[in-house]
Copies of this chain bind each other. A is one copy, B any other.
Amino acid sequence: MNHLAVNYSDVQAAAQRLIDVAQLTPLLPVTLLDARLDATVHVKAEVLQIGGSFKFRGAYNRLVQLDAAARGSGVVAWSSGNHAQGVAAAAARLAIPATIVMPSDAPAIKIDKTRELGADILFYDRMRESREVIATALAERSGAVLVPSFDDPYIIAGQGTTGIEIANQSRAAGGLPDIVLVCCGGGGLVAGIATALAELAPDAAVYSVEPEGYDDTARSLATGIIQHVDPAARSICDALLAPHPGTVTFPLNHTLLAGGLVVTDAEVRAAMRFAFRELKLVVEPGGAVALAALLAGKIEVAGKRVVAVLSGGNVDSAQFAEILQASDQ
């Protein structure tokens, strides 16, 4: 195994920092799917995390590293929404001023909730401006620390605490998982979970799941070389639109993952309806890709113990209502 930027002890240390800070989200059985798929299925309900997605874990683990001087200068992040809320919530908890650079077409719920958490928001035009340039200039001007959304060892280790919980909760529920399905944008969550499970459930096959058109990690895993997204690609999974795998996340994922799965927007909508009806959970498009892969039969699970991570639930009511009432499958 190559030398990797994050190892299990980093995830363990993050878990220690997050005790009584992050929510221990439940691992819920999906008995309806057990019968249908001849498997033992659980979902990790990370929609119930602080800020409505897993992002708080990594953001807190990153921000808590800052010394008093750095905290005083504040933090800057760019995000379409879930990382924004994660950083805003972690910053509020640590009394650090936060500015978030967000696309002006981000879901209103993500903008509003970031603001409610006390962060300043700076909007940019996703089609014409560079969030990196705006955020970097702001950080240089103010002395604030730039908080990346996935390509950072502390962020990855924080997200990986989800994997420790999956292992512990699965064991308590009857056995370690054989297959774990995790959404993938930049790849921080799946890299962190895979790092934890390589230690705690070494026989588990961990898969990234991406939306069609944004399958850069699946193609990068298949070729061993970082692949980019076609700039013309579109998806309803606003949380998973990273243009290419990270330089920190990809070596981890290339070493640790069993492969990359891909789902269509229609499969994502069907999974959101399933979560509404059968699980009573609100799941956003990007948060539903792992469940979508399972429901759409993208992987053979008969006889296996499977965990699908429901990674976020920040979806506008108008979009959710529209998806509930559609029946494309």
Contact = CB atoms under 8 A, between A and B. Distances in A.
A242 interface: no
Nearest to A47: B280
Contacts of A26: 25-26, 48
A26 B24 CA distance: 9
A277 B322 CA distance: 16
A16 interface: no
Number of copies: 2
Given A47-B280, A282-B281, A324 B317 contact: yes
B28 A277 contact: no
Interface residues of A, number: 30
A239 B32 CA distance: 23
A2 interface: no
A283 B273 CA distance: 15
Contacts of A283: 280
Contact of A324 (B23, B29, B50, B320): B320
15 contacts: A23-B28, A23-B29, A26-B26, A48-B281, A273-B317, A276-B282, A277-B317, A280-B282, A280-B313, A281-B281, A318-B324, A318-B325, A320-B321, A321-B321, A321-B325
Interface of A: 23, 25-26, 28-29, 31-32, 45, 47-48, 50, 52, 109, 116, 273, 276-277, 279-283, 313, 317-318, 320-322, 324-325
